[in-house]
Every structure is written in C-alpha cells, then in structure tokens.
Structure 1
C-alpha cells in the first residue's frame, strides 16, 4: 500500500497538481488564460469520450449491461446517501442538494489520472469503462434535483392542472427544461457523449486520425490541465475551511465511503482489477464541471463555495494523492 501511494505521489500529474496548489497558496502570479483552460477541458472530454467509443465498439450489449446497471445504481444511491449525511450535519436543504449533486456526479480528471496510474503500473481495464463515465455524469444531478422538489413540495397544497382540469400535486412539476438542458446537454456531457458515439460508430477506423492527438499526447496534456486545477483548488481551499471541521472531514471521508461502495459494485458486476478500481474512482470522485453548471441555474441559493470548494479544494486533491491508491488497494484485496 505504501509503495502504491509513493508511486502515485511522485508521478508527474500529481506533482504538477501540487505545484499549482503551492503557487495559489503563496499568491504567485502564475495563471492560465481562460481560453487555454477551456481548451484543455474540451480536449480532455473529447479524448476520454472517443477512446471509450472505440473501445466500446469491441463489446456486445450482453457484456456491458451489468456494469451499466451497477453504474446507474451508484448514480441513484450516492446522492441519496450524501443528502442524508448533510441533513444529519444540520446543513440547510439547498446546500445539501448542492453537495449531493456534486458528489453523486463524477470528476473526469480524477478518472483520467487513474487511467494514467493503471497504465503506469501495467494494469489493464475494460475499454467500456470510459462509456460509464458518460453514463454516471447526469443521473445524480437529476436525482438530486428531483429530491429537492419532492422535499420542498411534500407539504404543498394541490394545484389545478390547466391541461386536464384535475388535481395535481405541486411536486409533479419536478424538473424543467433548463434543468434537463444543464444535466444532459451541458458541455461536459455533450462532448463526452458525442465523442463516445463518434468513436462507437467509427471504431478502429478512427484511430489513424485521433491517435496522434487524443491518445498519444493525452498524458502530457493532462499535466497542463492538472497544473491549472491545482491553481483553482488552492484558491478554493480557504473557502471550505470557514465552514468548519465537519465539512472538511466529509470531503476526505466521503470519497473513501463512496469509493469503497463503487469497488464492491464493480466486483459484483464482474469487472477486472483495473475496472473495479475505476468504478471505485467514479463513485468516490466529485464533479466540478457538470454539477456546478446545473446547480447554478436550477438551485441558485446553494452556495458554490461549499459544494465547489469541497469537490475541488478537498476531495479532488485527496483522490489524486491518496484516494486512487486506496481504491486500488481495496480492489486488489477484494479481487
């Protein structure tokens, strides 16, 4: 276990991430132009999506159905568990929903770093795991927003429906078009899903075109992205500290809890050691792209410094430094 942590700590992606945190904490003038930061995000999403589509083209539906069902289970269970924990900690409903949506969704960058970790240690994994990244991105956001509407309207008076002149509870209006747009057609999901479909349609025929940029250069460009993420995480870290020790502990303990659940689900649906590790990472990571984008428009009362500060300032570095080797060790033990 200690050797795995050492190898992960002294990998280029982690060290450049730490460099970004140090730069932010010491008020360095190092910064990435917004356009470059956006371009790196787009590159990463396309690279993971198209690689997943090409790999998925090698598998039959019967092969992937069980992992898909396991992924959907995680997408429903994790936001519910997070909401219960937040309410137990006496956090208000809107901020609890914000954290639930964030931790139910996933971090594409943490997933990408795990792929680098597995490849560095010559550990294979199922190619369709990249497809599960897309699948787990949105359900938790939708589940969290539906839970919010149900809890807000459970004591609401019935209203008259203009469509059927019947009595319809207010809770029936669970989500609107904007929520669906942000959760399903937001940038991250659209690029991941679109690239996945393109890779699935073209299969091996796409390799000659996409391999030089999106496969061969992936690890090097990930270093640039993580340097930028280190800068952002270092800036967000002080925002979380003001909300108390309990929240900081949640940001470090929740990934282990949910990641362990993901490892057991991955083992249950029959994944390999590498696949089980990736399933643990998917469950243990927290979103800082798709979920915050949806929350900004649908739950504006939720404080971004809580859910974004937790996911980016605490859970993201925890997973990058300790979480990945922990999930791998649990997966190795259970396998």
Structure 2
C-alpha cells in the first residue's frame, strides 16, 4: 500500500501541478498562451471520451445496463448534494458549481491506484469498470452546468423567494429550451460525450488512427495541462483562506460519504466485491482532469485554487491513504 501511495504522490502529473503552484507563488514569468491552454483542454476531453467509448464497445449493452444506471445515478446525485452543501456553507454560486462538477466527476489516478490495490490483494473485478470511468465524468459536468444555467436565471428572476437561497428554481418555466441547449451542447459536454459515442460506434477500428495522438501522448499532454492548472491555482490560492477549515473538512468528509454511497450502489446493481469497491472509489474521488478542463471554458468565474486545491491537495491524498482501503472493507462488509 505504501508503494501505491508513494507512486501516485510522486507521479509526474502531481509533481508538475505542484511546480505550477510554486511558480505562481514565487511570481515567475512562466505563462501559457491562451490558445495553448484551450487546446490542451480540448485534447483531454476528446482523449478521455474516445478511450472510454472504445472500451465500452467490447461489451453488450445488456451486460452493463445495471452498472451504467448506477454510474449515471451517482453522477447525477453527487453534484446536487455538493451544490446544496456548498450553498448552505454560503459559498458563491460559481465556486459551488465548480465543486459540484469536480466532486461529481472522478479521479482517474485514484482509480488506477485502486486497481493496483485489487491486483495486489488478488481480488477480481469487472473489465467494463474502465468504461464507467468515463461515464461517471460527463453526467456530473452536465448536471452541474444545467444547474448553473437554471440558478443564474433564478437569481435574476423577480419571482424568486428570498428564502430559496438560490437552490431551487421558483418556476418550471426557468427550465426553458435555451437552458437545455446551453447545457447539452456547450463545447465541453459536446466534446466529452460526442467522443465517447464515436469511440463506442467505431470500437477497435478507431484504435490505429487515434492511438498515436490520443493514447500514446495522453500522459505527456496531461503533464502540460496540470502545469498550467497549477499556475492558475497558485495565482489564486490566497482566496481559499476566506473559507478556511470548512472547505478542508469538506475535502475529507465528502469522499467518505460519497464513497459509501458508491459502494452501496455497486452492491445494489450486482457488481462483484472488486467492482463494488471500484464504484465506491469512483464516487468518492474528485476530478482534476475532465472537470477542470470543462470548468475552465464553461465556468471561468469558478476559482481553480478552490476546486483543484481541494480535489488534488486534500481529497486525492486522503483517498490514496485512507479511502481506498476503507471502501474495500466497506464493500466486503456489504457483500
């Protein structure tokens, strides 16, 4: 277990993120051109989507329908719970949405550490869990952006009650065609979900063409992306102090709650011990790749130092040290 923890904490993607924060704190002149920053986000969204679609094409829809429904359920309910949680803590709307998308989505690196944990313990798991990794990324982002559009209209509507705290729309008319269009067809969701369907339709036939760019170079491009996100987060890091211990506790308590919900869901949809534990890991983790890539373009008002600082600086190491074995023991108890 110590090797898993050390291997992930000392991985290049994490270290380059830390380098970006350090560069920002010492006020280095290191900067990414805006066009390059947008290009890296587009690349990651396409790569994550198409790889998941290709993996999903290996299975019949009947064999994965139950787990898919479980994954979609978690991807929908976790961002809503997070949003309510943040609004009760009096956090502003855009940063609440940022955390809702980040904690509703998943961490691929945490998932990889969980796979290593299962392999070392000799516990088997369903192969299609790799596809659920992608399926649990896009619903949370979609739901979060949808809620943002509704609540932005809600905040500007004269019909809103002063007691609503911006949590519930005053009228179903707020859910109009424009809200749905912007939520479903914003470029982040369009690229992520569209790429997944392309990979699903083409299957292994797409591998020879997409492998050199979207498979082989993925980790290298990810390093550049997290270096840039480190620069952005480091520049705005002092803003996190305004929220203090409340956010720190959220970063520790929320993976326990969401991970437990994931384990219960995995057991209910009939997954094995290993699959149930992985569902808990996915639910309890927080994204620092897909969600930040989407938020950077769709919700630029959200502070990266909050959603990235919590997901990568608090929840990520917590899951590696405590969360993964905790979800495994919980899965054993439920099974």
Q: Which moved more, 1:260-269 or 1:181-190?
A: 260-269
Number of residue-to-residue matches in the alignment: 311
Q: Cα 1:225–1:267, aligned 2, differ >3 Å: closer, same or farther?
A: farther
Q: CA deviation at 1:233?
A: 1.8
Contact 2:232 2:305 in 1 (8 A): no
Contact 1:255 1:323 in 2 (8 A): yes
Question: C-alpha separation between the residues in 1 aligned to 2:234 and 2:97?
Answer: 22
Structure 2: segments with no counterpart, 5+ residues: 120-124, 163-168
Question: C-alpha separation between the residues in 2 aligned to 1:217 and 1:30?
Answer: 23
Aligned to 1:199: 199
1:16-165 maps to which residues of 2 (within 5 A)?
16-89=16-89, 91=90, 95=92, 97-106=93-102, 111-114=107-110, 117=113, 125=127, 126-129=129-132, 130-143=134-147, 153=159, 155=161
Q: CA deviation at 1:225?
A: 1.5
2:281 is the counterpart of 1:280:
yes
Q: CA deviation at 1:31?
A: 1.8
Q: Which moved more, 1:138-147 or 1:47-56?
A: 138-147
Question: C-alpha separation between the residues in 1 aligned to 2:263 and 2:196?
Answer: 24
2:326 is the counterpart of 1:330:
yes
Question: C-alpha separation between the residues in 2 aligned to 1:317 and 1:182?
Answer: 31
Question: C-alpha separation between the residues in 2 aligned to 1:48 and 1:246?
Answer: 32
Contact 2:37 2:228 in 1 (8 A): yes
Q: Cα 1:38–1:291, aligned 2, differ >3 Å: closer, same or farther?
A: closer
Q: Matched residue of 1:28: which SS?
A: coil
Question: C-alpha separation between the residues in 2 aligned to 1:244 and 1:4?
Answer: 30
1:201-216 maps to which residues of 2 (within 5 A)?
201-216=201-216
Contact 2:41 2:293 in 1 (8 A): no
Q: Matched residue of 1:16: which SS?
A: helix
Q: CA deviation at 1:48?
A: 1.0
Q: CA deviation at 1:171?
A: 0.7
Q: CA deviation at 1:6?
A: 1.9
Q: CA RMSD in A?
A: 3.5
Contact 2:102 2:307 in 1 (8 A): no
Aligned to 1:312: 308
Q: Cα 1:103–1:118, aligned 2, differ >3 Å: closer, same or farther?
A: same
Contact 1:277 1:327 in 2 (8 A): no
Contact 2:105 2:138 in 1 (8 A): no
Contact 1:107 1:288 in 2 (8 A): no
Contact 1:276 1:331 in 2 (8 A): yes
What TM-score results when the alignment is normalised by the length of structure 2?
0.77
Q: Cα 1:178–1:248, aligned 2, differ >3 Å: closer, same or farther?
A: farther
Q: CA deviation at 1:70?
A: 1.6
Q: CA deviation at 1:220?
A: 2.1
Deviations 1:97-130 (A, max 9, x none): 5455333324799634345546777957523222
Question: C-alpha separation between the residues in 1 aligned to 2:325 and 2:118?
Answer: 15
Q: Matched residue of 2:213: which SS?
A: helix
Q: Matched residue of 1:29: which SS?
A: coil
Question: C-alpha separation between the residues in 2 aligned to 1:108 and 1:213?
Answer: 28
Contact 2:78 2:104 in 1 (8 A): no
Q: Cα 1:103–1:257, aligned 2, differ >3 Å: closer, same or farther?
A: farther
Q: CA deviation at 1:44?
A: 1.0
Q: Which moved more, 1:36-45 or 1:63-72?
A: 63-72
Question: C-alpha separation between the residues in 1 aligned to 2:40 and 2:188?
Answer: 12
Q: Matched residue of 1:128: which SS?
A: helix
Q: Cα 1:189–1:251, aligned 2, differ >3 Å: closer, same or farther?
A: same
Q: Which moved more, 1:217-226 or 1:125-134?
A: 125-134
Q: Cα 1:101–1:242, aligned 2, differ >3 Å: closer, same or farther?
A: closer
What TM-score results when the alignment is normalised by the length of structure 1?
0.77
